[in-house]
Amino acid sequence: MSEQQVRLVPGVVPNNHGNTVASWVLVALMTVGMIVGAVGFSLANLPLLVIGVALMVIGAVAGFALKKAGHGQGGAKTIERAKAKGHH
């Protein structure tokens, strides 16, 4: 008979449900960019469409940069903020 080995997840998994500065900035900029781009597309306004796409790209870059800076899920700044609020 074979035996299965169980491996536990190391440490505690963050329980903030993605509620981080990085995620909020990413979602906000992507949403605004999508709305601006959709309005630009609907009105056949190329500059407005380009601005919308640019906002979406900026949102993706900003979210990634904030995550790398520790403001994302499991990041040092996010954990520090949670401890200050008494969540961890």
Rounded Cα distance between 77 and 12, Å, is 16
Q: What is the pLDDT of residue 42?
A: 98
Residues of the chain with pLDDT under 70: 1, 8-16, 87-88
- 40 within a domain of the structure (yes/no): yes
Residue 41 is part of which domain span?
21-84
Q: Quick one: CA dihedral 30, 35, 36, 41, positive or negative? A: positive
- 1 within a domain of the structure (yes/no): no
Number of residues in the chain: 88
Q: What is the pLDDT of residues 42-56, one digit of tens each?
A: 999 999 999 999 999
Mean pLDDT for the chain?
87
- 12 within a domain of the structure (yes/no): no
